[in-house]
Copies of this chain bind each other. A is one copy, B any other.
C-alpha cells in the first residue's frame, strides 16, 4: 500500500486514462476553475506532482477533457437515435433525455454544451479548449440536423441549431435556479414546446 515510484507502462496508461476520466466528470460538475490539478490527481489516486508527466499544462488537459466529454455525448446521442423507429421519435427521445432533472443532479455526466459553455465563454480565444468546444457543438448540431424534419438541408440545420440552443438555454437556466420551482417549470415548458414544434 505504500507508494513506489516508477510504474509499469500499462499502469502509466491506466493512470493517464484515470486522470482524463475524472477530469471529464469533475470539470463538468465543478467548473474548469472549480477543480485544481491537485484535486484531479487526488481523485485519480495520484499526487499532484506527477501531473506534468502526462500533460504540459492544465489548459491542455481541459481541452482533452472537453473533447472526451463531447465524444461521450455524441456516442450517447447516436445510440439513442439508432434505437428509435423514425426521425420524429428520435428528436423526441433526444429532447426528453436532455431536458431531464437527471442532468441537474448528475452534472458530471451531462452534456458538456450545457455544463461547460459558461466557462468556455470566458476562456481567451487561443486556449485549446475553445476549439474542442466548437468541434463538439458542431458534432451535436450535425446529429440534430440529420434527424430534423425538412427536405431542405439549410432548413434542417436551422432547426438543429435552434433546438440545441433551446435545450442548452433551458438547462443552464434550470441549473442556475435549481433550488427553486422555476427550475422544473422551465424544463417542463420547454419540453412541451419542443414536442409541439416537432408535431407541427
Enumerate chain A interface residues (CB-CB to B < 8 A). Answer: 30-31, 33-34, 113, 116-122, 125, 130, 133-134, 137-138, 157-159, 161-162, 164-170, 172-173, 175-180, 182, 185-186, 189-190, 192-194, 197
Contacts and interface: CB of A to CB of B under 8 A. Distances in A.
A189 B31 CA distance: 29
Given A119-B118, A182-B134, A164 B173 contact: yes
Contacts of A133: 176-177
A78 to B, nearest CB: 20
B30 A138 contact: no
Contacts of A34: 122
A189 B186 CA distance: 22
B157 A165 contact: no
A189 B157 contact: yes
Contacts of A185: 161
A127 to B, nearest CB: 10
Interface of A, helix, strand, loop or mixed by DSSP: helix
A127 B66 CA distance: 28
A125 B179 contact: yes
Nearest to A183: B134
12 contacts: A30-B122, A125-B179, A130-B177, A134-B177, A158-B192, A159-B193, A161-B190, A161-B193, A164-B173, A165-B190, A168-B173, A169-B172
Contacts of A169: 164-170, 172
Nearest to A107: B121
Given A117-B118, A121-B118, A158-B193, A186 B165 contact: yes
Contacts of A176: 116-118, 120-121, 130, 133, 137
Contacts of A161: 170, 185-186, 189-190, 193
A179 B130 contact: yes
A190 B180 CA distance: 28
A158 B133 CA distance: 30
